[in-house]
Amino acid sequence: MLALFNAMRAANPGMHYEYIPKPDEWRNGRQIFFRACWCFSQSVEAFRHCRPVFSIDGTFLLVKYMGTLLIAIACDANNSLVPLAFAFVERENKDSWGWFLRLVRRHVVGPSREVCVISEHEAMFNSKHEAAVKLQNKGDLLPSKPNEHLNDAKGFAHTHEVRLFDISTGKYEVTKRGGTTSDGEVRPPRKYVVLLSNFSCTCGRPRQYHFPCSHYIAAARNRNFFLHEEHTPRVHCR
């Protein structure tokens, strides 16, 4: 699939794609596919001249490939359809829609433009909006569950060993210590490569969940690097 995206990009300069394998899942030496999202620069340019409205929808795929195709579509001044972005995801749920819409915001809409999203998933956005308003009123940055995950990851980060590879890009090798689990399974130590500047780790979690893994936190601590709000998931406001 990566070869396909690279070929598409070679023929469509400016195309953007994100390809995400399943964290830590391999078969026959290859990491298993999880999600992918792509958009063409022509669509991004065209949407700048469209009304600030787009629709989103998903359709499940059948037979060989399964999964779900998500799409964001706008309308131009002639009422012709302008496809904005596409994604392959495992299924339609809050997490996959949230992931897709974050990428549409980042790569198609841009940070400051106010847009209206038309969706049959109205209930989902309404409940997210209500939750976001409640959190803001309380002055909290994160809902309780991500907060717990972050605290767990911070705790694990203290047990990792960190080695700096390249200071200019913030490239680190982080070793998770081996040990024996409570049911007697012996786990060898594992090494991960963290790139602070790219918010990535070879475990795959930061790119998939838009949330720092314990390896990333360990490397960030080594650098006295403050974990910016941008790198933690936020509840969507319309």
89 class by beta-carbon count within 10 Å (0-12 exposed, 13-18 middle, 19+ buried): buried
Per the CB < 8 A criterion, the answer to whether 90 and 96 are in contact is yes
Site string for Zn ion, 177-196 (x = CB under 5 A): ---------------x----
User: Near Zn ion by CB under 5 A, which window of 48-56, 144-152, 164-172, 203-211?
Assistant: 203-211
In the bound complex, what is the minimum distance in angstroms from residue 38's beta carbon to Zn ion?
24
- Between strands 116-118 and 53-60, the pairing is parallel
User: Near Zn ion by CB under 5 A, which window of 13-21, 30-38, 150-158, 208-216?
Assistant: 208-216
In the bound complex, what is the minimum distance in angstroms from residue 67's beta carbon to Zn ion?
25
Classify each residue of 186-215 as buried b or exposed e, where b means 16 or more C-beta atoms within 10 Å of its C-beta.
eeeeeebebbbeebbbbbbbbbbbbbbbbb
| Near Zn ion by CB under 5 A: residue from 39, 104, 201, 220 | 201
Contact between 218 and Zn ion (CB under 5 A)?
no
Rounded to the nearest 5 degrees, what angle is found at the Cα of 234, between the Cα atoms of 228 and 236? 145
Contact between 176 and Zn ion (CB under 5 A)?
no
Contact between 217 and Zn ion (CB under 5 A)?
no
Contact between 219 and Zn ion (CB under 5 A)?
no
| Near Zn ion by CB under 5 A: residue from 85, 104, 213, 218 | 213
In the bound complex, what is the minimum distance in angstroms from residue 215's beta carbon to Zn ion?
3
| Near Zn ion by CB under 5 A: residue from 160, 171, 215, 236 | 215
Binding site for Zn ion (CB under 5 A): 192, 201, 203, 213, 215
